Chains A and B, each alone.
Chain A
Amino acid sequence: MTLNAYPALYIFSVGVLPYITVIVFIVGVIVRSMKWLSAPRGSSTPLSLTAAIRQIILDVILFRKIYRHDKLTWLLIFLFHISAGGIIFGHMRGFKLWSAELFTPLGEGFKNFLVETLPIYMGYLFIATQLLLLLRRLSLEGRKLLSHPNDYAALILLLATSIAGQGMRITPPEAVDTTYTVSFIPRLVVLHLEKIPSVPWFLIHVILTQLFFMYIPYSKLIHIYTGVITAALYGSRRSEYGL
């Protein structure tokens, strides 16, 4: 069975949906930006680049503030975001943004660990941390926080996407040993697969991932990029106040 075993679904998910994803995503970003831009300008803080970068590294990448006062929650949120980052980075290999040769200097054994074994652990970690985040949210609901429906929708969508991704990784691949390419948007977004993964999991994963991307600008997932902006602004404010 090869990837085009389900011709209609296959054509839809890699030949049609990607265009819809891009359009829905861009429209979402524009609509959100218009919402912000239609409001009056506030007083502005002069941007301090060094303070902004410092703030981004400490608070956005390392979650320093959470570390300071709640080590357990820090561990959870940090591991969740680190595994997300690792997984995003891993995907980039399939899109030829880097190749496994990058790790050759570290020795063949270690290279294989990094590109074959580690991603599987990362996948489990990613799923486990999401489940814990979901539990955390449920347990604090109505006492310490007030979720919007999209907070749960975002988590559940991501959870389903990552379970499908992991399913694809751990079920036996279809045996074809040449590289197989999947063109989402020809020339622009082309996925190179060394092994053809388990087909049903692959299709579910591909569809859910695109739904996730479409959802970013319409949900709290928008913090993926606005969080960098707000952290840079806060860093600049601290520098203005001499802190």
Chain B
Amino acid sequence: MREVDLAVVGAGPAGLTAAIEGAKRGCRTVVLDMNPRPGGQLIKQIHRFFGSREHRAGTRGIEIADSLFHEAASAGVEVMVEAEVYAIHDSTLEVVAQTNEDSLVLLSEEATTSRSRPLSIAARRIILATGGAENALNFAGWTLPGVMGAGAAQTMINLWRVLPGKKILMVGAGNVGLIISYQLIQAGGEMVAVIEATSRIGGYGVHAAKISRAGVPILTSHTIISASGESRVERAVIAKVDASWRIVSGSEQELEVDTICIAVGLHPNARLASLAECELCYSPSLGGWVPIHNSRMETTISGIYIAGDLSGVEEASTALEEGRLAGICAAASLGKERAGDYDDIKAIEGRLLGLRSGPFCQHRQDAKQELIGIGEAQCPKQ
């Protein structure tokens, strides 16, 4: 069995920064990701990121993914791709992974799935950074081919370079719905409309303005009633909703579309965390059920840490900071401290506080505070 000091699940921004901090402190560190390319959500984000320059804002997500990966590799982190972790046995902190290569797989190498084999890794500390997963939405015809998660459409256009349809309806005007609509236009698709059930656009105004001046109507207080067509989406019926979410009769309109993308939010991808028996708690502001953690990012299971969207759906900038925090704390618990760790932690906490301020983000700060409060009481003491 392979033995490492630190095993990180998920090679998104949180997982990679956690691994970098761990490796810098002398931990033998491995990162496992089920995707063929490291970077998590970043590998399909072709827009310039929000956040501060410190978090590489202004840089496109794909470039951040590449540079994080190279930073990890040069810090001595081993990154395994196409390695899905499907179980964690708590007491021995054993990671069971399935992978086709048990050695470092570089970005440029092609993926094959022909030689999958089970692999066990014994890790002294585990950091889960499994990110978020898209929420589904039920309506008549939602299972028809042509209805898909907005993230699936984004993967298709930006990774695979295939446009899933010509005339597209986006359901949801949060940042994800707005950004992916913009990217669908860039890929050559026609956005027929973006609809949003609440009375206001949830995402940033600047993203909405971008697609508005591209000629895309954003209809708030509108919901989807049905998708229909012969074996695939050919049309959608949308309608207005009133303040109490009732459909305004007579407001129905039919749109000729061949693709319907669903962007109604993400939830923490806590499957593995619950398999590892980490206790969860429900937090609407953080996207749903999140593993409870303390200020050191440690869960209710001693030795298992979390970071990024798994610990509350937020942003890459917060994921980078939380990853660092988890990496530093996990290394410290193995006695691998570095002079200056204390100051680093304080600085990270300060930046997180800044990122979680303002009308869009303050509610997350409050929710995080509450979660950490529960964590301080329930998680193992150092």
Chains A and B form a bound pair: no
